[in-house]
Each structure stands twice: as structure tokens, then as C-alpha cells.
């Protein structure tokens, strides 16, 4: 039977390690935001598994919202390199926003998003990012909640895709080179 595992060269972060770290992040957020009005903003599609796991470890009344961003030139109203394909449903004025994202690489996406959310009247905007490729950073973005630092390798799984596939792989992994060469 064909399995996703057949395409994987190595597992970087196991399911169990993800679960343990995310539980700890949820506890930390619960402590840090006592008495505050929190909105978790998940960046689709990559943040889906991280958002679902993290929110269930945050023991606070909170609102979940989502955005879809694109760094490619397929939006007509693109300003710079990032554009909004789906905006928030709710107002964030006077709320404490935590942006939940799968991975930060150059930092260009978050460097675009954070000032934008602040300009809408959020009381605070912090980042919760599962995977941090810090060697690749081009923009100086402060990430308050980091799951794991990872090396500069293209990864898939736990929300991260290659050509839209592998988001459902439950661990963080590196693909075999044959997978890219199939194209």
C-alpha cells in the first residue's frame, strides 16, 4: 500500500514532541493572558493543525478567527509581496491578538501582518509560531511563542505543504529528493 511515509527522508519532530511542546505553549499563554480579551488568528491553511492543538491547551475564554495570506502574485490588490486573500471576520479593536502560524522563514509575511493588525486598534499583537527557521530571517520580527527552532531545510507535515500536499502528515519531516524530481 502507498503511504505518505514512503516519501519521507527523515522525521525532524515527532508527533509526541509536537504534542508536549504545544501543551506547554498553551499553558504559558493561559498564564500570560489572564483577564484579557484574546483573539487567536490562525493563518490558513498551514496553521490548521497547530491552531487546533494549541487552542485546546489555552484555558481562557477566547475567539478564533482566520486569515488567508498569499506571498505570490495572484492577488489583484497585492501591496508589496504579501496580500490578503481572506480577511478576519470580526473586529479586533481593543482585543489582544495572538497570530498562530505554522512556520516563520524570512519573516516577510509576519512583518506585513503585525503592523496591519496593530493599525486596526488591537491592544497587543503577539506571534505563536510552531516552527522557526531563524537562519533564514530577513525581517526582524519578534516571536513571543516559538514551538521549535528548525534548520534551514524544506520541511512538510503538521500543516506545512509541498505543492499543497503533505499538510496532513502528523509529524514534521523532510521529503526524499525523488519527490521533487518527479515533476
Q: How far apart are CA 84 and CA 136, in angstroms?
A: 23
Each residue 35-64 as x (binds Mg ion by CB under 5 A) or -, in order, gives -----------x------------------
Q: How far apart are the first and last CA of the chain?
A: 22
Are the C-beta atoms of residues 38 and 62 closer than 8 Å to each other?
Answer: yes
Q: Does residue 157 touch ligand IMP according to CB under 6 A? A: no
- Residue 109 lies near ligand IMP (rule: CB under 6 A): yes
Q: How far apart are CA 35 and CA 17, in angstroms?
A: 30
Say which residue the cell 491553511 belongs to.
45
Q: Which of 11, 64, 75, 108 binds ligand IMP (CB under 6 A)?
A: 108
Q: Could you tell me which stretch among 30-38, 48-56, 101-109, 119-127 binds ligand IMP (CB under 6 A)?
A: 101-109
Reduced to 3 states (helix: H, G, I; strand: E, B; else coil), residue 181 is: helix
Residue 105 designated active-site = yes
**Tell me, what DSSP letter sits at residue 134?**
G
Please give the grid coordinates belonging to residue 170: 502528523
Candidates 105, 111, 149, 161; catalytic one: 105
53 binds ligand IMP (CB under 6 A): no
Question: In the complex, which residues of this chain contact ligand IMP (CB under 6 A)?
Answer: 46, 71, 101-109, 154-155, 160-161
* Catalytic annotation, residues: 105
Amino acid at each position: 500500500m502507498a503511504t505518505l511515509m514512503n516519501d519521507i527522508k527523515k522525521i525532524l519532530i515527532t508527533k509526541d514532541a509536537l504534542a508536549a511542546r504545544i501543551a506547554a505553549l498553551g499553558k504559558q499563554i493561559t498564564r500570560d493572558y489572564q483577564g484579557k480579551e484574546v483573539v487567536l488568528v490562525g493563518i490558513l491553511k498551514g496553521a490548521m493543525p497547530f491552531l487546533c492543538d494549541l487552542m485546546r491547551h489555552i484555558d481562557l475564554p477566547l475567539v478564533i478567527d482566520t486569515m488567508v495570506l498569499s506571498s505570490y502574485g495572484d492577488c489583484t490588490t497585492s501591496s508589496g509581496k504579501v496580500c490578503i486573500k481572506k480577511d478576519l471576520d470580526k473586529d479586533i479593536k481593543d482585543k489582544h491578538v495572538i497570530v498562530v502560524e505554522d512556520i516563520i522563514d524570512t519573516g516577510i509575511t509576519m512583518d506585513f501582518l503585525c503592523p496591519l493588525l496593530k493599525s486596526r486598534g488591537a491592544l497587543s499583537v503577539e506571534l505563536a509560531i510552531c516552527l522557526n527557521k531563524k537562519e533564514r530571517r530577513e525581517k526582524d520580527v519578534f516571536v513571543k511563542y516559538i514551538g521549535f527552532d528548525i534548520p534551514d531545510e524544506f520541511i512538510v507535515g503538521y500543516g506545512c505543504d509541498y505543492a499543497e500536499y503533505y499538510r496532513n502528515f502528523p509529524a514534521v519531516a523532510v521529503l526524499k529528493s525523488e519527490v521533487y524530481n518527479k515533476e
